[in-house]
Amino acid sequence: MSKKRASLVVQEDFTEIFTDASTESKREHTEVITIEQALRIITRHMKASGRRDRTISDYEVHVAHFSEVTNVIYLNQVTPEHIYLWLSSMDVSNQTKLTRLKCLKAFLNKCADYGWLRNRFWRQIQIKVDSQVKRGAEEKDVMLLLSLMDLNRFVELRDATVLLLMFRTGIRIGTLSALKEEHIDFNTRTLLIDGSILKNHQQIHLPFDETIERLLKALLKQNAIVRKDRGENNSFIFISFKGKEMKATQANSNIQKRINEYSKEYGLRNLNPHALRRGFANRLLKKNANVALISKALGHSSLDVTTRYLHLDKKEVAENLRSYL
């Protein structure tokens, strides 16, 4: 190194000189960040990473409600008492409280991951919820409803296809709303679903039977007529009567509403999107499919979620165990 350059090198160790100031600065920054600022940053990052609109909306609604009820502005002011106060303000079931608490906890965990909070005290806050048995839809009820629907009408043909597809493949209604013609392979009678439209973002192939094949082919032909009549150009399988794409929330609302109307009119119970998925899971179990296969078909994140779908009463458990003795 030249003498000129060597003269620019300071022969002194300043490593520790600003350490305390830096630490204090970080501490002060943590103290001044507000819940509103943290929520804005986190939801922006969630949007950028492709998280579902519904998930982001839940964060915005529940965290904002927490701040409003407790009058807490800054993150470092949040205490267990604030969370209990928030929970006590709700006139809802414990199950609903638990769902909202999970959302708040997820938000606080992200804040801790970002270095805005030091102690994850909220982990110890729990809500006791009595487990309620949610049974799956019965095949006889599904078939009865399908027999009562007028498949010569476009909307009822569409709804019938949705109903049977959910019951026979376990597909979520949100995924159904995003299905396009390119996802159908009629040669192998399989739905080739890519991860971009699935909740767990993992690709899956779901086989379907001859009845669903016939319904799908009839629906695609009718879709083409509706789109041409309405001047629309898309390849979605499940469209509105105006030929437009049905968003997940719209599909869930409209189709669920129609199923409810049929159920009330004909005295049918337990027919809804979740019950149809549970019915699919139970049908597989009765055909001796293992839980791992059922979990994969349902797109669950863990086997624990799947086991909650597969309710077996005590007598049924005993009879199943007896076959292994």
Last residue of a domain, one of 69, 91, 124: 124
Q: Examine the domain organization and report whether 82 and 218 are in the same domain.
A: no
Through-space distance between the first and last CA atoms of the chain, rounded to whole angstroms: 84
Residue type, 119: N
Q: Are residues 179 and 103 in the same domain?
A: no
Structure tokens at 232: 């629309």
- Whole-angstrom Cα distance, residue 213 to residue 220? 11
Is 1 within a domain? no
pTM > 0.75: no
- 182-235 pLDDT, tens digit per residue, is 999 999 999 988 766 666 667 788 899 999 999 999 999 999 999 999 999 999
Boundary residue ending a domain (67, 90, 124): 124
Residue where one domain finishes, among candidates 91, 124, 157: 124
In degrees rounded to 5, what are phi and psi of residue 22? -65, -45
Residue 193 belongs to domain with CATH number? 1.10.443.10
Q: What is the DSSP secondary-structure string of 220-266?
A: HHHHHHHHHHHT----BSSB-TTS-B--HHHHHHHHHHHHHHHHHHH
Residues 154 and 275 in one domain: yes
Q: What is the pLDDT along the chain (325 residues), one digit of tens a residue?
A: 555 555 555 555 545 544 444 444 444 444 479 999 999 999 999 998 888 788 899 999 999 999 999 999 999 999 999 999 999 999 988 888 999 999 999 999 999 999 999 889 999 998 887 656 567 888 999 999 999 889 999 999 998 999 999 999 988 887 888 889 999 999 999 998 876 666 666 778 889 999 999 999 999 999 999 999 999 999 999 998 899 988 766 656 677 777 778 778 878 888 888 888 888 888 888 888 777 788 878 777 666 667 666 765 555 555 655 665 6
Both 208 and 286 in one domain: the answer is yes
Say if residue 146 is in the same domain as residue 118: no
Q: Look at the chain and report how many structural domains it folds into.
A: 2
Q: Domain check: are 144 and 37 in the same one?
A: no
Nearest of 78, 97, 77 to residue 87 by alpha carbon = 97
* 58 falls within a domain: yes
Question: How far, in Å, CA of 186 to CA of 274, rounded?
Answer: 27
CATH code for the domain of 85: 1.10.150.130
Taking residue 60's Cβ as centre, other Cβ atoms within 10 Å add up to 16
Q: Are residues 97 and 225 in the same domain?
A: no
- Please check whether residue 132 lies inside any domain of the structure: no
pLDDT digits (tens, 9 = 90+) for 41-62: 999 999 988 887 888 999 999 9
Residue 166 and residue 119 share a domain: no
Domain-embedded: residue 12:
no
**Could you tell me the two tokens for 294?**
């059922």
Is residue 14 assigned to a domain?
no
The answer as to whether 130 is a domain residue is no
- Do 243 and 226 touch, CB atoms closer than 8 A? yes
27 and 146 belong to one structural domain:
no
Q: Give residue 233's domain range.
A: 139-322
Looking at the fold, whether 85 and 115 belong to one and the same domain comes out as yes
